[in-house]
C-alpha cells in the first residue's frame, strides 16, 4: 500500500510541477524540442505510474500474492456475506474502473479528433485547391496580405500568398518555408492533436491541462529554430515581423498576449540552435529522464515516509 501510494504521489508531483519547470527551461533559452519530448514523456510516465500504483493497490501484498481475479472474487464474496470489503480492495477496484474509463475516453477523443481533422482538412483542401495555383506541394493564393500556413496530412501542404513572395526578400521567404516545412516534417500537427486529446481526457493536472496551449507555443519555437538553422535568425525574425504586422495591423507586436513577441525576443537574444545530432541526444536524455521521474519522486516519497515513521 505504501509503495502504491508513493507512486501515486510521485505521479501527481510530476504532473503538477513539470510544466513550470519545462517552460522555465525554455524561457531561459533551452531547446523547445527537448521540452516537447520531455513533456510528452512525462505525460506517458504519469499515466503509467498511476496505472502501476492502482494495480498495486488492487493486488494484496503489493502484487506478490494473489491475482487480481482472486481479489475481485474475495471482494465479491465478502459483499455477499454482508461484510464490507477491505478499504484496499474497494479503492483498488474504484481506481481500476476509473483508469479503464479514462483509457476509453482518451481513445475516443483520439479517434473522434482524427476523423474530425480529416474532414476539416479535406474541406480546406477542396477550397484552397480551386483558388490557388499549385507549385509542387505549395499552394499559392492571389492575395494582398503576406500569409503562410501549413496543412497537416499525407502529403502535407504549405499554403502561401502572392504578397508573401512580393513583400518579403528571398531569404525571408525561404525562412517562412523552412518554418512551415519543419511543422510538417516534425509532425507538429499530430503533437498538438495528442495534446488536445490529453487535455480533454485528463483535465486535472497542469501537465495535461496546459499541454495544448504550451505545446502550441513550443512547436512554433521549434519550427523557428529549424528555420534559423537553414536561413539564420535575422531572416526568420524579419519574416516574422513582416507577416505578423499584417495579421493584426499595427498591434501585433505590442499587443500583450501574442506569442509573436516571445518568438521575436527569442530570435533576437537566443543562442543559436544546436546541431541535429546533439539535439537528438538531448531529446533522448530528456525523454528518458522524464519517463523515470515519477518513480524517482515516488522513491523520495517512500524514503520520506520511512524517515518520518521509523526514526532511527
Partner 1 sequence: MHGLGELEAAVMDVLWHEQPLKVRDVLERLETPRKLAYTTVMTVLDNLHRKGWVTRELEGKAYSYEPAMSREEAAARALRDVLASSGDPEAVLMHFAKSASPRESELLRRSLPRKKRSSTP
C-alpha cell of residue 75: 471482494
Minimum distance between the CB of residue 185 and partner 1, rounded to whole angstroms?
12
According to the binding rule CB under 8 A, does residue 79 interact with partner 1? Answer: no
Cβ atoms of 156 and 137 within 8 Å: the answer is: yes
CB-count exposure of residue 57 (10 Å: 0-12, 13-18, 19+): buried
Please tell me whether residue 90 binds partner 1 under the rule CB under 8 A: no
Among the listed residues 127, 169, 170, 272, the single contact to partner 1 using CB under 8 A? 127
* Least distance between partner 1 and beta carbon 38 (Å): 15
Binding span for partner 1 by CB under 8 A among 4-12, 19-27, 47-55, 87-95:
19-27
Report the site for partner 1 in 231-270 (rule: CB under 8 A).
239-240, 243-244, 247-248, 252-262, 264-265, 269
Query: Which segments of the chain does DSSP mark as H helices, in order?
Result: 2-27, 32-58, 68-80, 87-131, 162-167, 170-185, 188-201, 206-209, 211-231, 233-247, 259-269, 276-309
Among 80, 82, 126, 309, binds partner 1 (CB under 8 A): 126
Among 59, 93, 132, 293, binds partner 1 (CB under 8 A): 132
Q: Give ∠ CA 35-218-298 in degrees, rounded to 5.
A: 30
Among 65, 101, 149, 307, binds partner 1 (CB under 8 A): 149
Q: For the chain, how many residues are written?
A: 312
Total site size for partner 1, rule CB under 8 A: 75
Closer residue to partner 1, CB minimum distance, 245 or 299: 245
Subset of residues 180 to 219 that bind partner 1, contact rule: CB under 8 A: 180, 183, 188-189, 192-193, 196, 210, 213-214, 216-217, 219
Say whether residue 58 binds partner 1 (CB under 8 A).
no
- CA separation, residue 50 to residues 9, 62, 89, 168, 302 (Å): 9, 15, 16, 51, 15
Residue 214 cell numbers, joined:
504550451
Task: Check if the beta carbon of residue 36 is closer than 8 Å to that of residue 215.
Answer: yes
By CB under 8 A, residue 26 contacts partner 1: yes
150 counts as binding partner 1 under rule CB under 8 A: yes
Cell of 174: 525561404
Alpha-carbon span 151 to 135, nearest angstrom = 15
Which residues inside 153-182 make contact with partner 1, applying CB under 8 A?
A: 155, 157, 159, 161, 176, 179-180
Least Cα distance to 206 among 8, 15, 10, 13 occurs for 15
Q: Give whichever of 87 and 120 is closer to partner 1, judged by the CB atom.
A: 120
| Closer of 23 and 279 to partner 1 (Cβ) | 23
Q: Name which of 105 and 200 has its Cβ closer to partner 1.
A: 200
Rg (CA), the chain: 25
Distance CA 160, CA 146 (A): 8
Residue with Cβ nearer partner 1 (72 or 210): 210
The span of 8-16, 87-95, 135-143, 290-298 binding partner 1 (CB under 8 A) equals 135-143
What mask, x for binding partner 1 by CB under 8 A, covers residues 96 to 125? -----------------x--xx--xx-xxx
Q: Give burial (CB, 10 Å; 0-12/13-18/19+) of 16.
A: middle
Amino acid at each position: 500500500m505504501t509503495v502504491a501510494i508513493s507512486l501515486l504521489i510521485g505521479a501527481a508531483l510530476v504532473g503538477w510541477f513539470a510544466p513550470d519547470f519545462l517552460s522555465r527551461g525554455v524561457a531561459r533559452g533551452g531547446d523547445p524540442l527537448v521540452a516537447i519530448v520531455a513533456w510528452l514523456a512525462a505525460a506517458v510516465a504519469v499515466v503509467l505510474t498511476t496505472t502501476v500504483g492502482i494495480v498495486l493497490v488492487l493486488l494484496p501484498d503489493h502484487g506478490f500474492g494473489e491475482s487480481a481475479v482472486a481479489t475481485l472474487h474475495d471482494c465479491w464474496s465478502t459483499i455477499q456475506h454482508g461484510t464490507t470489503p477491505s478499504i484496499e480492495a474497494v479503492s483498488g477496484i474504484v481506481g481500476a474502473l476509473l483508469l479503464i474509463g479514462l483509457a476509453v475516453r482518451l481513445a475516443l477523443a483520439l479517434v473522434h479528433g482524427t476523423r474530425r481533422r480529416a474532414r476539416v482538412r479535406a474541406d480546406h483542401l477542396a477550397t484552397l485547391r480551386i483558388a490557388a495555383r499549385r507549385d509542387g506541394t505549395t499552394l499559392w493564393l492571389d492575395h494582398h496580405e503576406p500569409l503562410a500556413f501549413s496543412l497537416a496530412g499525407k502529403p502535407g501542404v504549405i499554403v502561401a500568398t502572392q504578397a508573401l513572395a512580393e513583400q518579403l526578400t528571398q531569404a525571408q521567404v525561404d525562412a517562412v518555408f523552412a518554418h512551415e516545412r519543419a511543422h510538417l516534417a516534425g509532425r507538429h500537427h499530430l503533437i498538438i492533436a495528442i495534446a488536445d486529446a490529453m487535455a480533454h481526457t485528463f483535465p486535472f493536472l497542469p501537465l495535461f491541462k496546459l499541454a495544448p496551449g504550451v505545446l502550441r507555443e513550443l512547436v512554433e519555437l521549434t519550427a523557428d529554430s529549424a528555420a534559423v538553422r537553414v536561413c539564420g535568425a535575422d531572416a526568420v525574425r524579419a519574416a516574422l515581423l513582416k507577416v505578423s504586422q499584417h495579421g493584426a495591423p499595427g498591434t501585433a507586436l505590442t499587443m500583450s498576449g501574442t506569442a509573436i513577441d516571445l518568438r521575436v525576443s527569442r530570435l533576437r537574444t537566443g543562442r543559436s540552435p544546436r546541431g541535429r545530432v546533439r539535439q537528438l541526444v538531448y531529446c533522448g536524455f530528456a525523454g528518458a529522464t522524464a519517463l523515470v521521474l515519477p518513480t524517482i519522486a515516488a522513491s523520495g516519497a517512500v524514503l520520506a515516509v520511512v524517515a518520518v515513521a521509523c526514526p532511527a
